[in-house]
Amino acid sequence: MDIIFHHPTFDTQFWLDGMQQLIPDARVRQWRPGDNQPADYALVWHPPVEMLSGHSELKGVFALGAGVDSILSKLQTHPDMLPEGVPLFRLEDTGMALQMQEYAVSQVLHWFRRFDDYQALKLQAKWLPLEDYRREDFTIGVLGAGVLGGKVAESLAAWDFPVRCWSRSKKNYPGITSYAGNEELSDFLNGTRVLINLLPNTPQTVGIINSQMLNQLADEAYVMNLARGVHLVENDLLAALDSGKVKAAMLDVFAKEPLPENSPLWKHPRIAITPHLAAVTRPQEAMEYIAKTIREIEKGESPSGQVSLHNGY
Ligand SMILES: NC(=O)C1=CN([C@@H]2O[C@H](COP(=O)(O)OP(=O)(O)OC[C@H]3O[C@@H](n4cnc5c(N)ncnc54)[C@H](O)[C@@H]3O)[C@@H](O)[C@H]2O)C=CC1
Ligand SMILES: O=C(O)C(=O)CO
């Protein structure tokens, strides 16, 4: 079995050695421009078109992240990049859910305990106990209730917050109210105080966090974007912050990354920013998942994690 690997920034040797250890009889190599030799599996992030195009012998392509939008958008301009019938897989959790839970829970608790207000008071040397927020006024709404959104919703429900989620089809997470489809979006938004985005980037979700959505949230809402920058209309968020509709935002992802130095988001006192690291690929977990999936494919099984090209995620 031949496995090819390409990632613009990962430690390639670590991945080659790791995959070799997990599948000892495989020949694992770094793909380099000009390498047109056949392969059974490809592990990729931002793959050059020629790495995959024409390789209909591939039995699987593994994206080395959870979101496959960068690969699917390249398919728009290079439809032959993924040969017909070759399945595309993505990382399902592999250590990312726990990171998302840490990120979301710590920030929700930060807002709920009003640490942002106390930091502002501290800067004025003011000793002023504020009224507590109540859980019943702190409904958390998770947009996208898949592998990551579902876990984030569960971890916040464990802190006794009222939690709801929104997805394409109904979910059955204990203690979480599930809303599905565009027809239930307004009901989901109505009363949501903290909006957490974990949707995939698809034509249906681009720009979804806009004025219309923000205006339907509870007053003094909080917004956390952990999915993709293109989901959020940045100017609409700035307007909602200025009007007071939104009290604060925590953003991990941006339409343009790295976020340009002249972006007004940097200077806004009620926007917190992290540089797209809410959840990163954990190499060992990812390799174990890929090796397990390869074994399942080799046995003729249908492993989970296959991307639906039709749904776009
Ligand atoms: N900031 C970061 O560091 C990271 C961000 N991500 C982002 O998180 C996203 C979510 O990842 P997973 O949970 O693994 O994806 P997933 O595919 O398991 O879940 C997606 C959820 O969104 C829902 N959804 C999709 N389209 C919808 C629509 N049009 N209307 C309503 N619901 C819709 C699905 O029903 C599902 O519940 C990734 O696509 C990626 O963009 C992932 C990893 C790290
Ligand atoms: O896995 C993903 O989709 C990411 O965004 C990683 O940072």
Quick: pLDDT tens for 109-163: 999 999 999 999 999 999 999 999 999 999 999 999 999 999 999 999 999 999 9
Q: What is the spatial distance between Cα 42 and Cα 61, in angstroms, rounded to a whole number?
A: 5
Ligand 2, atom 7: closest residue by C-alpha: 280
What atom in ligand 2 is closest to the CA of residue 253?
5
Amino acid letter, residue 81 = M
Ligand 1 close to Cβ of residue 205 (< 6 A): yes
For the purposes of burial, counting CB atoms within 10 Å of the CB of 296, is it exposed (0-12), middle (13-18) or buried (19 or more)?
middle
Residue of 96, 197, 290 to mutate, ligand 2, most atoms within 8 A of C-beta? 96
Ligand 1 contact via 94 beta carbon (within 6 Å): no
| C-alpha–C-alpha distance, residues 220 and 184, integer Å | 22
Task: Taking residues 257-270, report their average pLDDT.
Answer: 98
Closest CA to 142 of 225, 208, 229, 254: 225
Atom of ligand 1 nearest to the CA of 68: 39
Query: Is residue 141 lining ligand 1, measured as CB closer than 6 Å?
Result: no
| Protein residue whose Cα sits closest to atom 6 of ligand 2 | 280
pLDDT digits (tens, 9 = 90+) for 58-83: 999 999 999 999 999 999 999 999 99
User: Angle 28-32-33 (CA atoms, 0-180°, nearest 5)?
Assistant: 150
Q: Cα 228 from chain centroid?
A: 7
* Active site residues per annotation: 228, 276
pLDDT band at 4 (very low <50, low <70, confident <90, very high): very high
How many angstroms is it from 107 CA to the middle of ligand 2? 19
Measured in Å, residue 148 CA sits from the centre of ligand 1 at 7
Pocket of ligand 2 (CB under 6 A): 65-67, 276, 280-281
- For residue 278, the tally of other CB atoms under 10 A from its CB is 24
**Helix runs in the chain, H state only:** 12-22, 49-52, 69-77, 96-112, 115-123, 147-157, 185-189, 211-215, 234-243, 264-267, 283-298
Which residue is closest in CA terms to ligand 2's atom 4?
A: 65
Q: Each residue of 155-202: pLDDT tens digit?
A: 999 999 999 999 999 999 999 999 999 999 999 999 999 999 999 999
Q: What is the pLDDT of residue 27?
A: 98
**199 CA to middle of ligand 1, Å?**
4
* % residues pLDDT > 70 (the chain): 100
Q: What is the pTM of this model?
A: 0.98
Mutation choice for ligand 2 from 88, 252, 276, CB with most ligand atoms inside 8 A = 276
Residue at 57: amino acid letter? E
Site to substitute for ligand 1 among 93, 148, 257, most atoms within 8 A of C-beta: 148
CA of 67 to the centre of ligand 2 (A): 6
